[in-house]
Amino acid sequence: MHMADALITPAVGGVMLAAAAGVAAYSAKKATNGFEESKIPVMGVAGAFVFAAQMINFSIPGTGSSGHIAGALLLAILLGPYAAYLTLGAVLLIQALFFADGGLLAYGCNWINMGFFACFLAFPLIYKTITAKDSGRLRTVLACVAASTAGLLAGAFSVTIQTTLSGITELPFNVFAAYMMGIHLPIGIIEGLITAAVVLFVKSARPELLDKGTQGHGLSSRLTAVISLAAVAVVGGIASSFASSHPDGLEWSVEKTGAALEGAAGGISAALASLQEKLAFMPDYGFKDFNASLGAVDAGTSVAGIIGAVIVLVLALIIGFAVRRRPRKSEK
């Protein structure tokens, strides 16, 4: 999934490089808190291991093809997300300069696509969540496959966004995204299975190696909030403009049966429909009497997407505070 320099413009490459550098600076600070000098040599050798392991062909039975290990996830499991992110940056730099795999302008994009999603989203939110209470064989395999697939698909989606924003390909965004995600789904599953096999082996041989990576490396609430808001901005603000205009499953099914989906006959349905029409200030995920666009991105849809997400967030917070367990008097 290494992007070449030709697939992005300097503007996109510059922004992604700045983002990757910012995350790297934060990771360097977190990785060296309570600094153990011994961590850096381990990072270097683990990075070289990922290199060597990616040269190994793991035969996939029944297909005649082979797969490779998911380096970022394995590094995160061994070293923790911050050290893993930095190590992956080192690996990607060497791949770009000495192995002609990637590029300099695309370095930031590759670092985010292959490092950020695996280390800061897939590992803490999926792998650690699944293995939190029980890290038995089945849970470990599930966790590795789910985390690897999610990280890879997020990276592939990000590649699609970066290439589309750069105006490199004439392929429509939704077709390109489907093509990229479709290719990377089986790859993510295979990589997850191989990673799970390695993790289970190391767990049986030297379990203390895994403890170093998984202890106390959850994401801080602030970072989780920042990442979530950034995801909302991208998906609600940009990707929503490329949502399919075709009918969804229900609408398609109803159309095929010849029934009318909208236009209630009368009574309560009509009254409620009239009330909805009056209350809805973002009908069809846009604004009434507002048409503007920024290139392929519809401004009304983008703003509606972001406002909708913020409203949901505020409601979720209110509900969360309301239902939060209060300590009983006897517990105080």
Residues 130-189 within binding reach of other proteins (CB under 8 A): 163, 167-171
Nearer to other proteins, 69 or 306 (CB): 69
Torsion-angle region of residue 64: left (phi > 0), alpha (psi -120 to 50) or beta? Answer: left
Q: How far is the CB of 91 from other proteins (least distance, A)?
A: 6
Structure tokens at 156: 């592939």
Nearest to 187 by CA among 150, 143, 161, 242: 150
Nearest to 79 by CA among 117, 23, 38, 113: 38
Per CB under 8 A, which of residues 4..43 are in contact with other proteins? Answer: 4-10, 13, 24-25, 28, 31-32, 35, 37-38, 40-43
Structure tokens at 225: 């909030």
Candidate segments 99-107, 120-128, 229-237, 287-295, binder of other proteins by CB under 8 A: 99-107
* Cβ atoms < 10 Å from Cβ of 21: 14
Measured distance CA(273)–CA(267) in Å, rounded: 10
> With 0-12 CB in 10 A as exposed, 13-18 as middle and 19+ as buried, what is 121?
buried
202 is an interface residue for other proteins by CB under 8 A = yes
Per CB under 8 A, which of residues 205..234 are in contact with other proteins? Answer: 205-206, 209
Q: How far is the CB of 173 from other proteins (least distance, A)?
A: 12
Per CB under 8 A, which of residues 38..97 are in contact with other proteins? Answer: 38, 40-49, 51-53, 55-61, 66, 69, 86-87, 89-91, 93-94, 96-97
Q: How far is the CB of 66 from other proteins (least distance, A)?
A: 5
- Bridge partner list, 294: 297
Residues in the interface with other proteins (CB under 8 A) total 72
Q: How far is the CB of 138 from other proteins (least distance, A)?
A: 15
Nearer to other proteins, 32 or 129 (CB): 32
